[in-house]
Structure 1
């Protein structure tokens, strides 16, 4: 499945002569020269972004601060071309020759320099898309929506109002916009490949993906969350497959965060590239090795829900999920057929560290989407099952705005038809809105942690249910690494878990049988 990505364009210098030029990611030591402060977030975050953090008790921290302008200007003085900056990684993406890169290496504020063959965990502890079938028969979204309980969700008044969804993709080529999208509110559009605002270029894939969420034509196409607000970004260079695209995804996520996006839909994925030295391996499907998975982890810490395709490799040599579907903090989506069997192409798990993936499934074989000619057609791919789930998530979040992004993931998994026996083909199964109405409350619902903003080394877990056995608590850091596990000795104990000294975000995953609850904590 081909990957699609987005970036925040900062500035560029004239390209002089780069006979031996190559891209490098300059990793900076600090933000001491930043012009911004965590006390004045409105200078670099939208009000919607700030409110998202407040609602989920996420503090503004140094990773929210833009990269130092002074450092950027000093790097520019070496003569390199500057493409983008990353506030989350405190990094600058440049293109330059060996001499220029060496000048940058000698700057006292530069920590490391990463090449495209580097991997995220070298520096941070922490696709083969199926083509359209070409069916020209008139079809509708009725089946795929019914499978998810969307008609009832819409009837209850939850059509995505007030939820902001970003679609990262390769292009939005279309013939007719108004017949299906004339109603929707577009907050932002940007072509990060061309560095302009023209998104009707390159490929129709993004238009098709968007149609499953946002289209509305009562007789043919009804998207799962057609009244949401949307940001549309061209992120994938369809002529190349390189690690640059992973960094573009990172920059896109940062832009989405600053703009106040709630949900990112990424019908994309990576594992092989034009340059085989950049390829990933299956033992690296651990949620922390690839740049794109690291970016997805960061996006989660900012309170955004990341929904991503599991991949279309199930009937190919790779078979497994692709990056960033390996992240423990994203909702990865596989594909089923109308008879509820798994689509042969749908990528499977587990991850390299033996976590169940995908998380859920939706109709992905013979799903109804809009083609580039703006006609409803039947098409295949987890590219089209993922956005259906993104729309379901928007309606659920509208219905229950008090949920954090991680609680929303748990809710969606709890609505799956395979929740009692999750596996590495279907995950927790097909979630339905209808199940929410009739579902029994999770036995872990009332568990809480104190404090969630940790100054010392310890926290306490309270309200452990008395009728649940075999409870465990896994502790993960921002890179998705399991750094500790606690086995509960008795159901009513107040448990103390040691937290490392390193200042960052940690995730506590509490497990009892097939029930899970993930709680985010912050180390001061």
Structure 2
């Protein structure tokens, strides 16, 4: 029966292949039985940094992490005139190139082969003129271009507007420019990145650490289409006074998965392989300014119903990357003015941050693809500058570009810096902080999603998410203890509100020191002079660079202790009222919170009896 099914499948495949000259195929396997790798020794296939990220986020190693079984690949390769292109361990499949019909029939008959599908013709050297064409928008002459603030640590030049829209300079000014964070950029090539002055800082400091071209299977990505160079520049470029990217101190892994000469689903397979490599070498984030819905062969075209986060190769791979702990940032698409209208995959994946486009005034670009996904997810997740965005495509001056392709890396860089500040948070927690900080957080829509994130607000959200506090009464005192991150730019102000106060009153300030770090704080509020019983409200205000709009959770205590104070002023008998202030002798059993002060006369003595 299996032979018959394989024959029928083969007949169909070759009918299709003969029509469209498809000679690249995806072979999917049923299992990973007999693998030489073990879940107990993940260091054999994951780098120490990848394992550290998994451990920090408590992400378990599972069978999808195991490489594709080598014996399966050998069997496929030895079936005839077959070239192995690359494998995807997460999807348990391999891309091959062949015109050998006998080999294909043999492969389809293997017990460990789940399916064999044609996916693309031979790669072409032709370069279509419009695959990455910019959406045609008129210059927005009403847009107000913000001026660089001299107090910032970076002189942003032409990139200031796209950083400042999100208060991204707040993160940079606090020392978070991406240091120690690894960001994978997956695109169509990066010509010029090894020579362009915009990338001198990253090159000199060896912050391009891993590269691979999954289209041609080589390590050199210094070629092909400059779309990747432009996207990379919005994050990594660093020419003070001219242009500074959103994460100029990050470390970068560059991968080419896009064949700009054609549009076929095999590029989604390449993207999956690129994400797997990014994960394996320890990338924290991935920026993907690519997307799919229509192909050169219409038989592969997706429908809007397919944009449900679970159907396409690229959406499946993006969600798996997120499951491994990576923060995946994806362009939402530029189809807002055409008949497709909606987002494109993998922006539909449910665990990615899809990014729409606005200008530096926060106005949504008409080309930015609409949400939601077909299964009702809010899409895009957020919006960033992609209309008249600035970047580099060569060694010349910065230029302006249009597309969610620019919005995506702009946001990816800022997300990198935010995560640098709060490595204790996981990838989905960073996404939620960005969305909660955005301009439409309370009423997301299908154009900008949750809106334009504010990095200072997102920072405060995470600061509050990881603080702890304990406020309780002890006798005639309120003891406040809290643990939170601080630095020389952050102070905490204890505020109190009594029944007689119109508003909260500051009663104590603790100013941080040094670099951003976790610390413990405490303050004791003396209540002995206050009447009882009363309700007292406390709250801790967070002062971020003189911005005092952020608060920790307020607490109300019920002050009921009689905080009487008895002062012994005499010389002799404890029970003699004349020896006590105001003639008041303390009771035999003191009320909670009461105190006795012994103030003997000079040369006298206190006789306790």
Asked if the contact 1:44–1:258 (Cα under 8 Å) also holds between the matched residues in 2, the reply is yes
TM-score, normalisation: structure 1: 0.76
Asked if the contact 2:193–2:229 (Cα under 8 Å) also holds between the matched residues in 1, the reply is no
Asked if the contact 1:131–1:379 (Cα under 8 Å) also holds between the matched residues in 2, the reply is yes
Greater relative contact order (CA < 8 Å, ≥ 6 in sequence)? 1
- Secondary structure of the residue aligned to 2:450 is coil
The 5-angstrom pairing of residues 276-295 of structure 1 reads 276-295=298-317
Instruction: Check if 1:435 corresponds to 2:457.
Output: yes
The 5-angstrom pairing of residues 312-461 of structure 1 reads 312-437=334-459, 439=461
Moved more, 98-107 or 281-290: 98-107
Give the Å deviation of 1:444. Answer: 13
Greater Cα radius of gyration, structure 1 or 2:
2
Partners of 2:36 and 2:67 in 1: CA distance: 8
Quickly say closer, same or farther: Cα 1:50–1:339, change in 2 above 3 A: same
Match for 1:91 among 84, 90, 93?
93
Partners of 1:270 and 1:373 in 2: CA distance: 30
Q: Could you list the per-position Cα deviations for residues 174-212 of structure 1 after superposition, in whole angstroms to 9, with x for gaps in the alignment?
A: 388352211111111222223223322122111111111
- Aligned residue number for residue 483 of structure 1: none
Partners of 2:103 and 2:448 in 1: CA distance: 50
Quickly say closer, same or farther: Cα 1:273–1:212, change in 2 above 3 A: same
Quickly say closer, same or farther: Cα 1:255–1:175, change in 2 above 3 A: closer
Give the Å deviation of 1:443. Answer: 9.6
Partners of 1:106 and 1:221 in 2: CA distance: 57
Instruction: Check if 1:234 corresponds to 2:238.
Output: no
Partners of 2:62 and 2:157 in 1: CA distance: 48
Partners of 1:51 and 1:439 in 2: CA distance: 25
Instruction: Check if 1:180 corresponds to 2:198.
Output: yes
Quickly say closer, same or farther: Cα 1:437–1:32, change in 2 above 3 A: closer
- Secondary structure of the residue aligned to 2:104 is helix
Asked if the contact 1:129–1:381 (Cα under 8 Å) also holds between the matched residues in 2, the reply is no
Give the Å deviation of 1:161. Answer: 0.9
Asked if the contact 1:221–1:376 (Cα under 8 Å) also holds between the matched residues in 2, the reply is yes
- Secondary structure of the residue aligned to 2:310 is coil
Asked if the contact 2:86–2:214 (Cα under 8 Å) also holds between the matched residues in 1, the reply is no
Give the Å deviation of 1:306. Answer: 0.6
Q: Could you list the per-position Cα deviations for residues 208-254 of structure 1 after superposition, in whole angstroms to 9, with x for gaps in the alignment?
A: 11111111111111111111110111221111111110110011111
- Secondary structure of the residue aligned to 1:383 is helix
Match for 1:159 among 177, 194, 200?
177
Partners of 2:404 and 2:133 in 1: CA distance: 9
Instruction: Check if 1:103 corresponds to 2:97.
Output: no
Partners of 1:23 and 1:35 in 2: CA distance: 28
Moved more, 58-67 or 199-208: 199-208
Give the Å deviation of 1:171. Answer: 1.6
- Aligned residue number for residue 32 of structure 1: 33
Asked if the contact 1:144–1:367 (Cα under 8 Å) also holds between the matched residues in 2, the reply is yes
Asked if the contact 2:159–2:390 (Cα under 8 Å) also holds between the matched residues in 1, the reply is yes
Give the Å deviation of 1:173. Answer: 2.1
Partners of 2:292 and 2:196 in 1: CA distance: 33
Partners of 1:223 and 1:206 in 2: CA distance: 14
Instruction: Check if 1:150 corresponds to 2:168.
Output: yes
Match for 1:113 among 87, 108, 116?
116
- Secondary structure of the residue aligned to 1:372 is coil
Asked if the contact 1:28–1:91 (Cα under 8 Å) also holds between the matched residues in 2, the reply is yes
Quickly say closer, same or farther: Cα 1:212–1:99, change in 2 above 3 A: same
Give the Å deviation of 1:296. Answer: 0.6
Uncovered stretches (5+) of structure 2, i.e. residues with no partner: 1-16, 121-129, 140-155, 469-609
Partners of 2:386 and 2:196 in 1: CA distance: 26
Partners of 2:377 and 2:193 in 1: CA distance: 42
Partners of 1:251 and 1:440 in 2: CA distance: 32
- Secondary structure of the residue aligned to 1:387 is helix
Q: Could you list the per-position Cα deviations for residues 425-460 of structure 1 after superposition, in whole angstroms to 9, with x for gaps in the alignment?
A: 1101000112235559889999xxxxxxxxxxxxxx
Q: How many residues align?
A: 418
Asked if the contact 1:44–1:66 (Cα under 8 Å) also holds between the matched residues in 2, the reply is yes
Asked if the contact 1:167–1:265 (Cα under 8 Å) also holds between the matched residues in 2, the reply is yes
- Aligned residue number for residue 23 of structure 1: 24
Give the Å deviation of 1:373. Answer: 4.0
- Secondary structure of the residue aligned to 2:255 is strand
- Secondary structure of the residue aligned to 1:112 is strand
Match for 1:202 among 201, 220, 224?
224
Match for 2:84 among 82, 85, 90?
82
Moved over 6 A (4+): 18-21, 132-135, 440-446
Quickly say closer, same or farther: Cα 1:90–1:151, change in 2 above 3 A: same
Moved more, 174-183 or 193-202: 174-183
- Secondary structure of the residue aligned to 2:233 is helix
- Aligned residue number for residue 272 of structure 1: 294
Asked if the contact 1:130–1:312 (Cα under 8 Å) also holds between the matched residues in 2, the reply is no
Partners of 1:296 and 1:22 in 2: CA distance: 26
TM-score, normalisation: structure 2: 0.65
Give the Å deviation of 1:105. Answer: 1.6
